[in-house]
Chain A
Amino acid sequence: MNIYVCIKQVPDTEAVLQVKDGNRINEDNIKWIISPYDEYAIEEGLKLKEKQAGSTLTLITLGPARAESALRSGLAMGVENAIHIETPEIMDHKNVARALANAIKQDPNFGVVFTGKQAIDDDSYLTPIYLSEFLGVPVATNVISFSLEGDKVLVEREIDEAAKEKIEMQIPCVVAVTKGINTPRYASLMGIMKSKKIPIKKFTLAEVGITELKNRIKTEKLFSPPEKPQGKIIPGESETAVKELVTLLKEEARVL
């Protein structure tokens, strides 16, 4: 089986972000990482490949030239193939999913496609589902356990705090994973050395069937949310402070 993992390069979770030109972030001095949920997807892909003799594992990303470093980090974890749809274009979710789907479909033997449940930059929760639609295969989101049962896939997905769901899917399929499914391995020194020599397959947008880019969704404005004014520290010993807090919550904030 040919396994694919879609990853996205995003700013580090600790990054302080500034707006540039009104509708994008200032990329100077930003540390870029693989979106954390995508790291779980890579790990799950590696585990599946290790269990399935003769299978291949390929990382795929879409983004500008800098996104190559995300692929290199993934390769260093032990993946052997990578595809980079390289474009500086800003694309809406459906166009991104269409490009990824078209790249994956060039391989008639694609099997399980792993993704993170969301990217932590735009938090859209859209690409895995759009991808499955454009690939014409089933999808499960929020997946916290994965196994291969014969020619089918069995996943457990979190519905909410109160319930989980077991789903059986035919292969090929898309599996969007969440935290809790595994612990991603660290890249070994050997892995890092090896990954530097792996050739990355590059596609242009035209090569994945996007000749005329038409975005229906556009970012008009990016801005900081209003800052909260500094609150008050309630003075005194714990006993008196707690009494005062309850009074404030009831009478000033009116939330109790």
Chain B
Amino acid sequence: MANIGVYIELKGDLFKKSNREALGLAKKSGKDVYAVLFSNTPEKYTDELKGIKKIICVKGSDLTYNPALYADTLANIITQFDLTYFVGICSAQGKDLFPRVSAKIENASLLNDCVAVDIDNNRFTKPVYAGKLLSQFVIEEGFRMATLRPNIFQAEPVSGDVPEIVEFQPVSKEDKSRIVEVIKSASKKIDLTEAEIIVSGGRAMKAKENFNIIEDLAALLNAGVGASRAAVDAGFASHDMQVGQTGKVVNPKLYIACGISGAIQHFVGMKTSKIIVAINKDPEAPIFKKADYGIVGDLFKVVPLLTEELKSRM
């Protein structure tokens, strides 16, 4: 029996919800689970980490995400504690950090964005071609690493004893890059790749200002705001809102597509959403073939009506 490590991603000092999914996978493996986190106050998270073997806690004067320091430290932890499996969330940070760690360990292999992991058989499944196909990989030997797509894996109930906390000193070699500044966006946008609900607008939005009806509905549902490539290319929405093969791949519980025809480019970016709702005035739009629920109608009428209806029934 070998050990499995779980990288616990914190947002500020918040425990990200998707950590529970990575912990769930690790616990089900039957291996000894080691949670690794960078924090000076690990006691805050012990309720979430009950029942595992150990918490490896990296403490330091400045623990703001620094890729070089984080990667060197994690590579040391993985080899020192023999964490032959190492998993985490496929978030913006995960996608930046895990490859750096894998690069530093000669016989480590990594697959990002996994939607299924069979630990007993070393099989990893991830979407390829933006999800047009799924690919099952085998990592035949060495350290095996994976980042997990959010909202796919099951969290397990937390029970058992509070694990022992082992402190670890951060390591870093001379760094050839440095973070000059972090620019926080004024708007509190929700990260689309981790959002539970997304409301998206397409070319039929006609203008940037019209996105306010999408934003109103999204605000009510605490949802992220997305857009199709056509809407982004027309300048109605910023590129970081684009859902699709050349944008973000998302998988919320609920995806509401407003005025989006449903080109394959867009569809592959959101098709793993649990429930898809389409609002479009063209009854022939391909999106209706893919949606769970559709309303044929003018989005400028339907979307505000939907916002009002939800308000009255919440």
Chain A interface (Cβ < 8 Å from any Cβ of B):
11, 13-14, 16-17, 19, 25, 36-37, 92-94, 120-126, 129-130, 132-134, 137-142, 154, 156, 158-170, 173, 179-180, 216-225, 228, 230-234, 238-239, 241-243, 245-246, 248-250, 253, 255-256
Contacts and interface: CB of A to CB of B under 8 A. Distances in A.
B247 A179 contact: yes
A167 B177 contact: yes
B274 interface: yes
Most chain A CB neighbours (cut-off 10 Å) among B123, B129, B302, B305: B129
A17 B129 CA distance: 9
Interface of B: 68, 91-93, 95-96, 99-100, 102-104, 107, 109-113, 123, 126-142, 175-185, 188-193, 197, 221, 224, 238-240, 242, 245-247, 249, 253-254, 263-265, 271-272, 274-277, 283, 288-298, 301-302, 305-306, 309-310, 313
A166 B183 contact: yes
A125 B249 CA distance: 13
Given A13-B246, A125-B95, A218-B138, A173 B176 contact: yes
A109 B61 CA distance: 38
Contacts, number: 237
Given A122-B135, A228-B290, A162 B185 contact: yes
Contacts of B96: 129, 141-142
B99 A126 contact: yes
B190 to A, nearest CB: 7
Contacts of B180: 154, 166-168
Nearest to B189: A161
A94 B178 contact: no
Given A133-B104, A219-B135, A162 B188 contact: yes
Contact of A241 (B91, B102, B238, B295): B295
Contact of B136 (A163, A220, A224): A220
Top 5 A-B pairs, shortest CB-CB distance? A133-B103, A129-B99, A138-B177, A161-B189, A231-B292
Given A142-B92, A219-B135, A230-B289, A255 B253 contact: yes
A251 to B, nearest CB: 11
A255 B294 contact: no
B132 A17 contact: yes
Contacts of A92: 109
B298 A238 contact: yes
B176 A137 contact: yes
Contacts of A164: 182-183, 185
Contacts of B310: 246, 256
Contact of B133 (A25, A154, A242, A256): A25
Given A159-B93, A179-B242, A249-B293, A225 B112 contact: no
B177 A169 contact: yes
Contact of A19 (B68, B131, B133, B272): B133
Contact of A253 (B107, B247, B292): B292
A13 B271 contact: no
Contacts of A13: 130, 245-246, 264-265
